[in-house]
């Protein structure tokens, strides 16, 4: 079996299957269209059915409303209420109904029945029978509803006379007082007569047998089966349907039996389904047309299949076989690793697309070879255009190149890291040599270090600031070394904490690195002045958070991270050496100071020995005088009134006799001012202080208020007590109670 047969055979089978599927789909579509037509007709009939019920019930309502507005009707209802004469009201209502119903029947060819009820439900007139004066039946829901709500109502209702479409309206007198109800009813036959029918349409109305069993007219209806009566139907309606459809309880919306389509709509009294409106449609013409179309489609399909297969056999040899041979030859060459020229297929079909795919494969094969050669020669930047996400071979080559590039980059980074580490290690070694060899002074050490760092990091200029520890609270950092453009610079400068970038670095104790310094950014002031380098690094020389100095470098190029790390590591070594150097300097200074102090102490010891002898003599004299003073004071305490003051005129002590006289506890006098007790004025106090400070004795009399009813007069003698330097040390106040003297004077005067 050649390729043409392999292609045409499944195509023929597929076309046959498609033909069968088309026939079945067409049949299904035709049947569906027919069903849609039926459903549409059913929907229209249902709409008409509901409209007819609404129209008839509205007509009944309108008719009842018309009668409820007639004066004759109102007078008859009002007359019955006032006189309770039901016979007269019946006659009036009967005459009015007969007069008006004839006109309605003549104009519409339809008959309606009416009933009139009083406000309490008593029947006054029925048009379908002569009986009246009975009470309202509980099954008459419409009239009961109007009596309760005083509003018009319409619905389908079953009462003892049958099933009717009703409309009822309340009647009000001129004072708007409810006086009765007017009811209009139409039989369901009117509903059937109002329904439009086609030539092949028939209809019937059936009511549940259980709902009609209690009516007085059930015997007049035709029995359909054990469940339904028919109360109206067209002439050709086939009641044999009830032998084929289970209608014991409900109907389906639509059902086809033979050549007849049946569909039904429920007839509801309130919310209860009491019967059905049945439609019967002859659909024999539709079924006959469907069968004819089915055979036409089948025959046309078979003829089409034969024609298509013949055409495919002729075209297949020209379009498929020859181009396929070219493609097979090209694929065989590619499978043997041979590079081929592009093949040409003069068509625009799938075979041509296969040829294009073979050409793409050949081109990709050539790209594989060229890309592999470049990679083999070490050209990792060679580009390869992948044929897509599914190009596994091409994507594998691209992944291989990426991995080789990553390996090359990693090797380059490794070499660069080794070079940077070697550079940093060599720099640290040289820094260590400089620190070991330079021992003369901190200035020389700073200059050698700065010169080496500026040259080694290829910076343009640099400075070193060293802390002056003479002021421990806020040390000043002095510039001890400056180097720029291969020359030592002789510059003087000092900074404190927080001053400029140097001061900020001292406070933060962290490296400050800036690589974007605008030319006009003059607010940035470094230790080098107001120059504008491209990068600036300031590193604290610290040991355990103590900053011994600052290293500052500036360059017209940016510092790399490994250079910054190298400078920070170098700063630690420099700071450590500076701390040791400062300790050595301080130690040397302390040794010199200790020797000098030792000599001074020898001289001071001799002087102290002489002073001790003099002090001993002085102490003996002071003890003698203190003994004398204590004796005198004890004597005065026993015989006089005494208080002791300090130079600020604050009480130190008060003897017991004076404390009792002034009624002041001894333990509360310490620290009190003298004017609080003696009531001296400010001027008297100042004069007293002035005289006593000169060593004079002051005698004065003062009146002291001890309580509300008791005053004491004291004669006070203030004596200054001098120390060894003839300065007033204490003041003693010796008092004399002269209260009796003043009382005697007051009595003599009075």
Task: Judge whether 178 lies within some domain.
Answer: yes
Residue 527 predicted with pLDDT over 70:
no
Choice between 223 and 472, residue whose per-residue pLDDT is larger: 223
Percent of the chain with pLDDT over 90: 9
Question: Are 171 and 74 spatial neighbours (Cβ–Cβ below 8 Å)?
Answer: yes
Q: Among 197, 200, 192, which residue's Cα sits nearest to residue 259? A: 200
Residue 168: is its pLDDT beyond 90?
A: yes
Alpha helices in 475-523 (DSSP H): 500-508
Handedness of CA 225, 228, 231, 235 (dihedral sign): negative
Give me the pLDDT at residue 195, please. Answer: 85
Residue 594 lies in a domain: no
b/e string for 535-549 if b means 16 or more Cβ within 10 A? bbbbbbbbeeeebbb
Query: Higher-confidence residue: 421 or 406?
Result: 421
Q: Mark whether 68 and 158 lie in a shared domain.
A: yes
| 252, 282, 312 - which closes a domain | 282
For residue 224, the 8-state DSSP code is -
Q: Note whether 119 and 87 are same-domain residues.
A: yes
| 125 pLDDT more than 70 | yes
Which pLDDT value is given to residue 522?
35
Of residues 386 and 540, more confidently modeled: 540
Claim to verify: residue 137 and residue 217 sit in the same structural domain = no
More confident residue, 31 or 65: 65
Q: Is the pLDDT of residue 249 over 80?
A: no
Cβ of 16: how many Cβ atoms within 10 Å?
Answer: 14
Instruction: pLDDT band for 525, please (50, 70, 90 cuts).
Output: very low
Which residues pair with residue 126 across a beta bridge? 115
Same domain, 202 and 180: no
61 lies in a domain?
A: yes
CATH code of the domain containing 700: 3.30.450.20
Same domain for 161 and 80: yes
Measured CA to CA, the distance from residue 652 to residue 469 in angstroms comes to 48
Predicted TM-score (pTM) of the model is 0.41
* Structure confidence at residue 523 (pLDDT): 37
Alpha-carbon Rg for the chain, nearest whole angstrom, is 67
Adjacent-strand bridge partners of 481 = 464
Q: Which residue has the higher pLDDT, 462 or 707?
A: 462
Are 182 and 59 contained in the same domain? yes
Q: What is the pLDDT averaged over residues 630-653? A: 78
Higher-confidence residue of 71 and 411: namely 71
- Mean pLDDT lowest among 305-319, 599-613, 736-750: 305-319
Q: Does residue 587 lie within any of the structural domains? A: no
d(CA 51, CA 45): 10
More confident residue, 50 or 439: 50
**Residue 379's pLDDT band (cuts 50, 70, 90):** confident
Is the model more confident about 152 or about 374? Answer: 152
Domain end position, chosen among 229, 257, 282: 282
pLDDT reading at 524 higher than 50: no
Distance between CA atoms of residues 219 and 223, nearest Å:
9
> Is the pLDDT score of 280 beyond 60?
yes
Judged against a pLDDT cut of 70, whether residue 637 lies above it is answered with no
Of 199-203, 290-294, 524-528, the range with the lowest mean pLDDT is 524-528
The pLDDT of residue 540 is above 90 = yes
Residue 392 burial by Cβ neighbours in a 10 Å radius (0-12, 13-18, 19+): exposed
End position of a domain, from candidates 191, 211, 230: 191
Q: Is 175 exposed, middle or buried (0-12, 13-18, 19+ CB in 10 A)?
A: exposed
Residue 154 lies in a domain: yes
Ranked by mean pLDDT, which of 245-249, 339-343, 477-481 comes out on top? Answer: 477-481
632 pLDDT exceeds 70? no
Is residue 162 located within the same domain as residue 97? yes
Provide the token pair at 736: 């004399």
In this structure, is residue 655 part of a structural domain? yes
Position 227 scores a pLDDT of 75
Claim to verify: residue 168 and residue 218 sit in the same structural domain:
no
> Nearest CA to 238 among 281, 195, 207?
281
- Binning pLDDT at 50, 70 and 90, where does residue 663 land? confident
Domain extent for 232: 197-282
60-118, pLDDT tens digit by residue? Answer: 899 889 888 899 899 999 989 888 888 888 898 888 888 887 777 777 677 788 999 99
> Across residues 149-169, what is the average pLDDT?
89
Total structural domains within the chain:
3
pLDDT tops 70 at residue 322: no
Q: Mind listing the pLDDT tens digit for each residue in 341-375?
A: 777 666 666 666 776 677 776 666 667 666 777 77
DSSP string across 273-301: EEEEEEEEEE-HHHHHHHHHHHHHHHHHH
Residue 246 has pLDDT above 70, yes or no: no
Q: What's 585-609 look like in SS3?
A: HHHHHHHHHHHHHHHHHHHHHHHHH
Residue 629: band (very low, low, confident or very high) from pLDDT cuts 50, 70, 90: low
Please check the confidence at residue 218 and state whether its pLDDT lies above 70: no
Confidence tier at 172 by pLDDT (50, 70, 90): very high
What is the per-residue pLDDT across 720-738, written as a single tens digit (0 to 9) for each? 888 777 788 888 888 888 8
Instruction: Say which range, 42-46, 479-483, 587-591, has the weakest mean pLDDT.
Output: 587-591
Identify whether 453 is part of a domain.
no
| Same domain flag for 671 and 739 | yes
Question: Is 204 found in the same domain as 183?
Answer: no
Average pLDDT over the chain, rounded to whole?
80
Q: Examine the domain organization and report whether 81 and 175 are in the same domain.
A: yes
CB atoms near residue 738 (< 10 Å) = 14
Please indicate, yes or no, whether residues 161 and 262 belong to a single structural domain of this protein.
no
- Average the pLDDT over each of 118-122, 245-249, 430-434 and give the range with the smallest value: 245-249
Sheet containing 153-159: give its strands across: 123-126, 113-118, 178-187, 162-172, 153-159
Most confident range (mean pLDDT) of 15-19, 235-239, 420-424, 533-537 is 420-424
CA distance linking residue 452 with residue 570, whole number of Å: 11
Q: For a pLDDT cut of 70, what percent of the chain falls above it?
A: 79
529, part of any domain: no
Report the C-alpha gap between 692 and 700 in whole angstroms. 13
């Amino acid at each position: 079996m050649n390729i043409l047969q392999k292609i045409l055979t499944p195509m023929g089978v597929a076309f046959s299957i498609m033909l069968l599927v088309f026939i079945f789909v067409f049949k299904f579509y035709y049947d569906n269209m027919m069903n849609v037509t039926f459903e549409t007709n059913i929907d229209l009939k249902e709409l008409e059915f509901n409209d007819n019920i609404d129209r008839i019930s509205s007509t009944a309502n309108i008719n009842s409303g018309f009668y409820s507005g007639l004066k004759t009707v109102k007078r008859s209802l009002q007359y019955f209420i006032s006189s309770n004469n039901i016979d007269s009201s019946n006659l009036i209502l009967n005459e009015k109904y007969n007069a008006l119903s004839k006109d309605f029947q003549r104009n519409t060819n339809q008959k309606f029945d009416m009933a009139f009820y009083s406000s309490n439900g008593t029947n006054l007139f029925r048009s379908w029978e002569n009986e009246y004066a009975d009470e309202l039946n509980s099954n008459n829901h419409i009239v009961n509803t109007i009596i309760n709500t005083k509003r018009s109502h319409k619905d389908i209702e079953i009462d003892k006379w049958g099933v009717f479409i009703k409309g009822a309206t309340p009647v009000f007198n001129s004072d708007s007082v409810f006086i009765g109800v007017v009811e209009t009813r139409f039989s369901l036959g009117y509903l059937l007569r109002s329904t439009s029918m086609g030539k092949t349409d028939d209809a019937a109305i059936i009511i549940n047998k259980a709902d009609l069993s209690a009516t007085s007219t059930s015997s007049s209806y035709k029995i359909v089966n054990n469940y339904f009566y028919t109360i109206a139907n067209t002439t050709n309606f086939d009641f044999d349907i009830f032998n084929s459809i289970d209608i014991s309880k409900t109907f389906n919306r639509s059902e086809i039996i033979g050549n007849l389509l049946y569909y039904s709509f429920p007839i509801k009294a309130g919310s209860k389904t009491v019967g059905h409106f049945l439609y019967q449609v002859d659909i024999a013409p539709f079924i006959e047309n469907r069968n004819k179309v089915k055979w036409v489609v089948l025959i046309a399909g078979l003829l089409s299949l034969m024609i298509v297969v013949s055409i495919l056999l002729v075209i297949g040899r020209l379009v498929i076989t020859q181009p396929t041979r070219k493609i097979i030859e090209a694929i065989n060459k590619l499978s043997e690793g041979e590079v081929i020229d592009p093949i040409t297929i003069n068509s625009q079909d799938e075979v041509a697309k296969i040829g294009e795919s073979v050409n793409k494969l050949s081109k990709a094969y050539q790209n594989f070879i060229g890309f592999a050669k470049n990679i083999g020669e070490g050209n990792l930047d060679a580009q390869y255009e992948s044929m897509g996400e599914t190009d596994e071979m091409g994507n594998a080559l691209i992944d291989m190149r990426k991995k080789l590039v990553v390996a090359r980059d990693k090797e380059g980074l490794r070499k660069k890291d080794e070079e940077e580490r070697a550079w940093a290690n060599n720099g640290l070694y040289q820094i260590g040599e400089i620190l070991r060899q330079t021992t003369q002074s901190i200035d020389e050490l700073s200059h050698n270090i700065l010169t080496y760092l500026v040259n080694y990091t290829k910076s343009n200029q640099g400075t070193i600031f060293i802390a002056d520890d003479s002021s421990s609270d806020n040390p000043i950092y002095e510039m001890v070394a400056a180097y720029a453009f291969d020359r030592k610079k002789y510059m003087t400068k000092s900074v404190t904490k927080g001053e400029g970038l140097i001061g900020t670095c001292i406070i933060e104790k962290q490296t400050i690195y800036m690589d974007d310094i605008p030319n006009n950014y003059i607010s940035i002031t470094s230790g080098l002045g107001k120059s504008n380098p491209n990068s600036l690094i300031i590193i604290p020389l610290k040991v355990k958070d103590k900053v011994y100095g600052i290293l500052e470098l500036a360059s017209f190029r940016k510092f790399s991270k490994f250079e910054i790390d190298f400078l920070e590591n170098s700063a630690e070594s420099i700071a450590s050496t500076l701390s040791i150097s400062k300790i050595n300097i301080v130690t040397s200074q302390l040794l010199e100071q200790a020797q000098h102090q030792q000599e001074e102490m020898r001289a001071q010891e001799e002087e102290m020995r002489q002073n001790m002898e003099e002090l001993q003599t002085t102490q003996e004299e002071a003890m003698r005088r203190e003994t004398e003073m204590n004796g005198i004071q004890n004597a005065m305490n026993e015989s006089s009134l005494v208080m002791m003051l300090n130079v600020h005129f604050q009480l130190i002590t008060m003897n017991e006799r004076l404390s009792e006289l002034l009624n002041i506890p001894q333990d509360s006098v310490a620290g009190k001012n003298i004017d609080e007790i003696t009531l001296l004025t400010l001027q008297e106090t100042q004069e007293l202080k002035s005289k006593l400070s000169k060593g004079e004795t002051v005698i004065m009399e003062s009146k002291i208020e001890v309580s509300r009813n008791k005053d004491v007069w004291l004669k006070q003698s203030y004596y200054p007590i001098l120390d060894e330097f003839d300065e007033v040390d204490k003041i003693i106040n010796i008092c004399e109670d002269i209260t009796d003297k003043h009382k005697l004077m007051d009595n003599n005067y009075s």
